Structures are given as C-alpha cells and as structure tokens.
Chain A
Amino acid sequence: MKNKHFIHRVLIAAALVILALYIFPYLYMVLTSFKPPNDVLSIPPTFLPKQFDLKNYLQIGDYAYIPKTFLNSLVIALLSSTFTLILAVPAAYAVTRFNTRYGRVFLVGTLVARMIPYISVAVPLFFIMKNFKLIDNYIAVAIGHMTISLPLAIWLLSSFFEGIPVELEEAARVDGCARFEAFLKVIVPISLGGIAVTAIFSFLASWNDFLFSLLLTSTNTKTAPLAIAEFNSQYGTVWGTMTALATLFSLPVIFVSFFLQRRIVAGATMGAIKG
C-alpha cells in the first residue's frame, strides 16, 4: 500500500513537471511584456523581469488605431457567432431529430465543408467580396468567419441534440404545440448548455482567425490579430509592444475560459468522441 502511495506521488510530480513545461512559453511572453522595453531583448535573456514595468503597455497608446482593432474583433466575433447560432440551431435539430434522406445529405455536406482548406474558400471569397465592393466591410469578414464556424456548430449541436429524449418533444406536441413551437419552447430552453458551448467555439473561431481577416479587411475593419502581426514587419519588430498586445489579446479569453471550463471540455470532446 505504501508503494502505491509513492507511485501516486511520483505521478503527480511528473504531471506538475509536464504542466510547468507546457505553461512556460506563454508565461514567458506575459512576463516579457512587463519588462522595461530595453530589457525585452537582453543577452542573456532572463525569465523574470528585473523590474516590473508597464511601459510596453503605455507605448500602445502611441498607436491610436489599436483600440479600434480590438473593437472590430469583438464586433465581428459577436456578429459571426450570433448568425452562426441562428442558422445552426434549427438545422442541427432538424437533421438530428428527423431521419430524412435530405437531412443525411445535409450532414455529409457539412462534414465536407469542415474538411475544405480555409485558403480554398478564402481565395474565391476575396474575389466575390472585391467584386461587390465589400472588402473592409464587417459583413464580409463575418461571412468569412462563418464559413469556419457554421460547419463546426452544426456538427457540435447535432451530437448534442442526439442526447435529448424524443419523449419531451412528443409530450409538448400532445399538448397541442405546433412543431416549430415545440422546438422553440421546449427544445431550445433545455438545450441552452449545448448552445452555449457552440457559441463559445464559434466566438473563438472568429476571434482567433487571421487568414480571413488578412484577406477581407483593410484599414477600417482590421482585426486585432492583424494589428499584432503588423508589428512584425512594419515597425521592425517591436517585441515589447508586440508581447504586450498579444497578452492583452489572449489573456482575457484565457481568464474567461477558466470559468467556462466545463462547457469547453464538453465542446472539445463532443465533436470527436461521439462522432
């Protein structure tokens, strides 16, 4: 028994080492952003800041367009995830609950849409949006992001709806509800958990996207990832400001996600385990 206890401790120690190594790169970036700008690239590099300094963050103020890019990211992510849900919830419900040939074709289509390389959609979408003079319009980027999130959302939701007992809906129908009414008043309320998971993943797909934003936005609707990436070349790689921006961009999402952890775990496993 004592032996087993020892093994357990070794395992926990091993897990802690794995975790520490895993967190290191991100922690290093966050800590770097709090170094005085001149210490950011020091030889030899140090892990901890010699002194805690907010100058890298204050320097962001020199670039007046930056707050707008964060706002753009938020607007686009909210737009695309809202419309994703509006389209995906009824569709996923219908194809999961009723076994029709059309529904099966629809699901296979969604699956194929998930396998297509983003670039192969982004290139012609760029062409279309250019023709309709929609480049640098919120709608264009939001649509671009929906091509990522919609197939994902339908897939996630349909494995979620599979777990809801048919009897619930039948009971509502016996009570005289029309089909669509039963869907809105019975199914949607009890599915809020799955819908929330899908909302989180749709939001993240848009918030973290780079490729579609790169092709479909310009000065007005530029998103935060683009603004961060631009520091890479335009200003000769200002590492201090760049790490500060990257921290501002990613840390709130990580922070919020810790409170939504159970939903996120559910979402990440749903698509793969249940298939």
Chain B
Amino acid sequence: MERSSRTFVILLTIPAALFFLVFFTYPVLLLVYNSLFDVSLLALQNRKFVGLENYADILTSAQTIKLFSQTLQFTAITLGSEFILGFIAALTFNAIGRKSEVLRTMFLFPLMVAPIVAGLLWRFMLIDNFGILNHILTGLGLIQRTADIAWLSNPKIVLLSVALPDIWLTTCFVTLILYTGLQNIPGEIMEAARIDGANALQTFWSITVPLLRPVIAAVIILRGIDAARTFDSIWIMTGGGPMGRSEVLSLRIYLTMIRFGRFGDASALATVFLVVLLILCLIAFYTIWKPDISKR
C-alpha cells in the first residue's frame, strides 16, 4: 500500500472518526465510569464512588433475571413472527413473479411509519372495550365478549401485545429482503430440482433455505438487534406495565434514570445491556453472517 493512499484515507475519514470518538466512544466510556458512582439525577455533581456496588445490585436482584428474560422473550416473539409472516409474504410475491410489483410497493409503506405512531395505533385497536380487534374477534365468534381478552392489562399476554406494533412495522422489511434473496436464486437450479422429481416442500428445504442462508442470517442479526433495543412502541402502549410485565431493558434503564433519578444504577444496567448485546452480536456476526468485511 503506497503511503499517499494511507494519508488520503486518514484525511477523508478524520471528520467521521472524530465524531465517533467524541459522541460514541467518549459517551460509552463515560457510561462505564458513571456506573461506578452513586449519582442522583437531581445533583449530578454530587457523586459518591461506590466501585462495583451498582453491578452487585444488578447481579443479585431478582428483577434482573425477569428483565433480561422479558427482553429475550420480546425479541423472540417479534423476530419469530415477522420471520414466519415475512417468509409467507415473500414466497407469495415470488410465486406471482414480476407482476407483483405494485403489490410489493404498497406492502412496504410501514417502513416509513414511526414506531411511536405504530404503538399508538395498535394501542387504539387493543383498548379493552373500545378496541376494534376484540370487536372483530367477537364478530368472528372467536371470543364471547369484547372484554374477554384484556390485551394491555392482562400481565400474561401483555408482552405479546406490545410486540404487535413492531411485528407490523418490520414484517415488510423482512419480506423485502427475503424476496430479493429469492429473486437472486437462479431459475435453472429450481428447474433442475423439479426435473429430478423434487416436490415443492423438498425444493424449499433442500434448495431455497440453504441458498438463502446468508440473507436469513442478515435479517436475524439486523432485526434481532432492533427488537432487543425497542423502546418507543412499548413506551407508548403500556409504559412497561402492568406490574412491569412488558418492561424491557431499554425501558427500565430510562425509568431508573428519569423517574427514579438513579443515574449510577441506570448507567450500570446500560453497560451490562451493551456488553451482552455486543457479545451476542459479534458471535452471531462471525458465525452465521460473515459478510465481506470479515474476509477482507
């Protein structure tokens, strides 16, 4: 590599690199530093060094396990649902072929909708007695009375309810990516399989899925990260309730800081969240995705 190239690269990347240093690296280091103190939001300067005490609190609290498990459940529900729904939609569009373009275009509109708006409209559809969803379910004879399913106040199902906006918002993205992946599979391979006498299901499992593997991995990682750090839609739907049963990590960190004013504890929990998510991502990234960057 000639030296002038190296200087050129450094010159062009310096502004962005500085931004990352000042507004990414420094804040993250500050986060870790703050997590070692007992800081109240009302008196930020008035801090007391407590070492790893905030972490000890997190590790010994029964709440923590519940919080991590709920975040994981939320991610699994969201990812699983949008993956299955997205695959069905993508296969349907793919079977229709190029004529599906108008349909596909219309299908993509939630990509532009803000999560806060999605949360709001789903909350509107799920309000106990007024919600149109229960009204429809009653009409179909699936439930007796509109009060039978308390989407937002039954602690047992609330985590599923708050996942609905997210599933609705991003199924279109999953569909788009899977559809593009399907389109990239050469027609001859499918043709050859058919000539060899493979049925639709066999073709799907032994040709489509393996060839789509990189695309599937990308979807799982990208969407998994987003689902794990969801805040907006849950905030607007339930605020984490009832009884904290729809609380996920992002929400709890925010509440710890703003509502309870415990800045040090919030920082410690945010640090733990960051480390766990990053480790999971890097493992997933290098084992199942392996994009070009790791080979270069």
* Partner-B contacts on A (CB < 8 A): 8, 11-12, 14-16, 18-19, 22-23, 25-26, 28-29, 32, 41-45, 47, 86-88, 90-91, 93-95, 98-100, 102-104, 106-121, 123-128, 130-131, 143, 146-147, 150, 154, 179-180, 183, 204, 207-208, 210-211, 214-215, 225, 228-229, 232, 239, 242-243, 246, 249-250, 253-254, 257-258, 261, 264-265, 268-269, 271-275
Contact = CB atoms under 8 A, between A and B. Distances in A.
Interface string B103-121: 1011111111111110011
Interface of B: 1, 4-6, 8-13, 15-17, 19-20, 23-24, 26-28, 30-31, 34, 44, 88-89, 92-93, 95-96, 99-100, 103, 105-117, 120-122, 124-125, 127, 129-132, 135, 146, 168, 171-173, 176-177, 180-181, 184, 214-215, 218-219, 222, 225, 228-229, 231-232, 235-236, 249-250, 253-254, 257-258, 263, 266-267, 270-271, 273-274, 277-278, 281-282, 285, 289, 291-293, 296
15 contacts: A11-B95, A22-B110, A91-B16, A98-B1, A102-B9, A123-B270, A124-B31, A128-B26, A146-B23, A179-B4, A215-B258, A232-B120, A250-B114, A268-B177, A273-B177
A123 B289 contact: no
Contacts of A254: 109, 112-113
Contacts of B115: 208, 210
A19 B296 contact: no
Given A102-B10, A128-B27, A261-B108, A117 B228 contact: yes
A119 to B, nearest CB: 4
B93 A15 contact: yes
Interface of B is mostly: helix
Contacts of B109: 23, 26, 254, 257-258
Most B CB contacts (10 A, CB to CB) among A120, A211, A214, A264 go to A120
B211 to A, nearest CB: 13
A127 B258 CA distance: 12
Contacts of B266: 123
Contacts, number: 283
Nearest to B19: A87
Contact of A232 (B184, B236, B253): B236
B9 A15 contact: no
Contacts of B125: 25, 28
Contact of A117 (B113, B172, B273): B273
Contacts of B88: 18
B96 A115 contact: no
Given A100-B5, A120-B270, A28 B132 contact: yes
B112 A204 contact: yes
A242 B120 contact: yes
A102 B176 CA distance: 34
A98 B9 contact: yes
B58 to A, nearest CB: 14
Nearest to B125: A25
Contacts of A208: 112-116
A214 B255 CA distance: 12
Interface of A is mostly: helix
A130 B171 CA distance: 38
B148 to A, nearest CB: 15
Contacts of A228: 116-117, 120
Given A23-B106, A123-B31, A116 B177 contact: no
Shortest 4 CB-CB contacts between residues of A and residues of B: A275-B291, A208-B114, A94-B12, A124-B27
Contacts of B273: 117, 119-120
A229 B235 CA distance: 9
A125 B258 CA distance: 14
Nearest to B231: A211
Nearest to A88: B16
A118 B130 contact: no
Contact of B253 (A109, A119, A210, A272): A119
B255 to A, nearest CB: 11
A229 B113 CA distance: 15
Contacts of A239: 124
A112 B27 contact: no
Nearest to A224: B114
Contacts of B232: 210-211, 225
A102 B14 CA distance: 11
Contact of A115 (B108, B176, B278): B278
A8 B98 CA distance: 12
A242 B124 CA distance: 10
